[in-house]
Amino acid sequence: MRFLLVSILFPMALSLTAQEAVKAVPTKKDTNTIVSALKTGEVQLHARYFFCNTINEGTLSDYYANATSVALGYTSNKHKKVIVGMSGFSFFNLGSSNMQHIDALSNQPNRYEIGLFDIDHPGDYSHPARLDEIYVRLNLKKEQVRFGRQFINTPLINEQDGRLRGTSVGGLYIESNRFKNTTIYAAWLTEISPRSTSEWYRVSSSIGVNSQGVSPTGIKANYRNHVATNGVGFIGVKIRVFSTVEWQVWDYVIDNVMNTVFTQLNYNRSLKKDKKIVLAGQVIKQTAINNGGHFNQEFAYTPKGAQALTFGGKLALQTKQCEWSINFNSITKQGRYVFPREWGRDPFFTFLQRERNEGSGGSRAIAMKFDYTSKNKTTQLALGVSHVTMPDVTNYALNKYGLPSYFQWNTSLKYDFKKWLPGLEGQLLMVVKTKTGETYQQPKYEINKVNLLLTNLIINYHFK
């Protein structure tokens, strides 16, 4: 079944490519038929190479990985407002560290490099393919409805495409522009295929595919495959209140587990000489539903009665090519902010690639960022530095993953080689993290978390 994708998509791609080479023009009689819609569809092909290397301090284990992936997709032409699409990918190990290796000093596994393969089957490369998308899309006058397996991007559930392939979801997704200056989003999802996996999971089984951390009492969390939920739904609204003000609010409900409300307000004001000032604020409120996913609290995703509150802000100056920003976020001591890492990245203004603050309470982060894009759009430079104050690593009730306070420096350089080879893009990302909090001379609180250098080299080629 894993190679069903290859057997379906590749013959289709070859067939459509051959038809394109002949340049057959459908007759007017055939224009609006299903066959015509399928014949005139579009094939997408995307190849990615990814090198990842983590250098930890002292005698703690270092890791590296070389991997590549090939993604093939097909989208039909529209027939009576209906479009069908499908895509999938395969990954290949080109030479890497042992992904099953456990560091002798910390008794901890690999963290970053394993994400290029299948985190649910470490070191097993016999599950190299995944069907990412297979959906039907209905394009109405003011609505778009998609049903099936698909990629979506919302503040909390998103593709988080920072490895070989992003997170895909299965269910019903609706987007509406029926009201002026307003976009409404709604979805009900019953299955998810997290990034760094090659399988599809029921929503209940997808929670905990990544590290589960520790429970509020300090014992190893054990909620994977125990959370009782039928799915996750959300509704979101974006409103352009004025030409300078945009407001959005999203309500995510994980059935029988928790409710999360996200709201954000953006204000921008034009200045002289193509400059713009941006102010933004964000608040997230969480409340457990029923028993947090299981009547036995040992197996619950979040404790019964748990609550969490986060708030943050952003001040930025934008020009045609640059943005300078200072960002702040605080998660109060009311409780841990938790949301399945398998489903998306942190939505905070202070977010820097390769680290998260999900799982913490009583934490504060401040980040300064600089982004530059060249006039010809070929070069992008992103610099970021942040300091995150975390609760003590032994404060299990507010520090789920044992992450100490830290400084983080990110440098990202992207280049588009469109002048020489359209579709070819490269990125070099370097991350330095140093600890500022106490780790009690326990390597498990440091390895792959702080006092490290992480290097990523990513090359993408979109066949055009």
Q: The dihedral of CA 333, 335, 341, 346: what is its sign?
A: negative
pLDDT digits (tens, 9 = 90+) for 409-439: 999 999 999 999 999 999 999 999 999 999 9
Domain parsing of the chain, residue ranges: 4-462
Confidence of residue 24 (pLDDT cuts 50, 70, 90): very low
With a cut of 70, say whether residue 348 has pLDDT above it.
yes
pLDDT digits (tens, 9 = 90+) for 362-413: 999 999 999 999 999 999 999 999 999 999 999 999 999 999 999 999 999 9
Short-list 311, 358, 349, CA closest to 330: 311
Under 8 Å CB-to-CB from 393, ≥6 apart: which residues? 399, 402, 403, 404, 437, 438, 439, 440, 442, 445
d(CA 184, CA 203): 23
Please, which pLDDT band fits residue 2 given cuts at 50, 70 and 90?
very low
Give pLDDT tens digits for 164-185: 989 999 999 999 999 999 999 9
Cα distance from N-terminal residue to C-terminal residue, the chain: 29
Segment 208-217 mean pLDDT? 96
Q: Assign domain 4-462 to a CATH class.
A: mainly beta
CA distance 198 to 163: 13
User: Looking at residue 162, what is its pLDDT?
Assistant: 84
The pLDDT tens digits for 106-146 are: 999 999 999 999 999 998 888 789 999 999 999 999 999 99
Where are the alpha helices (H) located in 395-453, listed in sequence order? none
Looking at residue 7, what is its pLDDT? 40
Instruction: Give pLDDT tens digits for 283-330.
Output: 999 999 999 999 999 999 999 999 999 999 999 999 999 999 999 999
DSSP 287-336: EE-TTTT-SSGGG-SS-TT-EEEEEEEEEEEE-SSEEEEEEEEEE-TTS-
Would the pTM of this model clear 0.85, i.e. be above it?
yes
pLDDT tens-digit series, residues 42-99 = 999 999 999 999 999 999 999 999 999 999 999 999 989 999 999 999 999 999 999 9
Residue 194 pLDDT class (50, 70, 90 cuts): very high
**Residue 383's pLDDT is what?**
99
The confidence band for 29, taking pLDDT boundaries of 50, 70 and 90, is: very low
Structure confidence at residue 156 (pLDDT): 98
Residue 184 CA to residue 236 CA, distance in Å, equals 6
| Tokens matching residue 384 | 């970021």
